Structure 1
């Protein structure tokens, strides 16, 4: 798998392409007996980022000969990828190559049909779009990367480096991957997942049936609220409340309430030095154990680790 080709679609993003080149295209042979043979494939004058034009030495037809193929982030997610790129990815996959996407490169893999029936991820801001355009793909917006064996995908931006290091770890072992991470001044493995970066949705505006209820709830997150409490305040039945909640927020009342409690806990962990017990009380979680359980499930990190990562210094 150490013959690596980066397939550059028109409109590739510079950050992810550069990250892949730094890991696989730079000479790190001092860390292992042999490093990767790296090539860039695409059309002459391919647009990369807002200002760079690349002149790959090889065309997309060379992709089929690689054992690992990397597709970096792609700007034009609403467009159909180049036909020759799709054909090359399918041919490489059929020949047994490992196919990797970084960030929105997942849209290219999905267009080629390589994610059908598989779990995949992309940048959280585009996960819903990927799921809508490609319903046969199981989109997981909460992880940093997925590894389905022959097909791997990463979440947005820096998560591409997480996946690249994961591949190095699989090919060369943890010692080499850790040494490379130190050289790149990046963690060899990050705890948690992409969910810790996703803002909890809050419905805005006043043109929906819950316009008065939602602010009322947000002002009382420290109180033990039930569905019946919310329905009574809204002046509707619990069944109607559930129907309106799904239409406005896309989820059930108690699930939305929990997401807002976690969102408030995130803000308090970032901006204050209050104890976990106090934050649990202020967010209506009751106990620190309850807060830790729900917070870790939603964000992928325990509260203490989240504070170390995102708290004010």
Structure 2
């Protein structure tokens, strides 16, 4: 972009002072023009397929997060501010931060079968992870407490750690049946056991249980024993599913770039000049502070690191 010379600056300032209404109109038109470009960009076909984002981010991030062949994935629902959409989001836990890499956007009306939506999403994401040579380990809250879902995840060769409801029916190996909340209203000492979760129509699923006392209530966790084997999304102003899908695509990509930038600059000796105790900060926060609050004399170093990072991402995408 060309830089205005002093004469242009003087004339522009004089026009704005002499004609306040023209100044207001100019600013309004400029803002509307920029907004129109943003809407066109968000409707780009490349931003309408969320799995394109996953296909590029998963190979890049999985090696950084996987442990002994297991890749943990946080999955949960969040609502759009427009009150007309829900988003099913999957994220990787990385140094205290949830890093989104997959999402599915659905309108609230008409809303499809939530069970089918969740199963289809987990199946596709799990297959993407398995194709890279890892075993997915889905970390799910009580809304996913269904024996049918756990049974399908087992059939697909995928792991899970799901928080159970208090009224969850359980059958022990000895045939004894009870509700978790009634048998274990409190859990003074953590304990684990094998059990069968009672499902609908008498169909259950064999799982491992881990029980421990939380701050306010007990936690009941069901897991699949592999034996070695929630997101600030409620502050947008999008009013259509197409725009919201493109916006989520960009937000998640930006979060990934910030985290990777924080990882690249994590060992820089100048961090104490920016923040006290940088070793206590998440990679996301380090990347954000480097871009937003870095000292002026260090901005060239940050910009160079960012350029190298983006070039590396483009090269990976091309391969």
| TM-score, length basis structure 1 | 0.25
Where relative contact order (Cα < 8 A, 6+ residues apart) is larger, the structure is 2
Select the structure of larger CA radius of gyration. Answer: 2
| TM-score, length basis structure 2 | 0.24
Higher strand share: 2
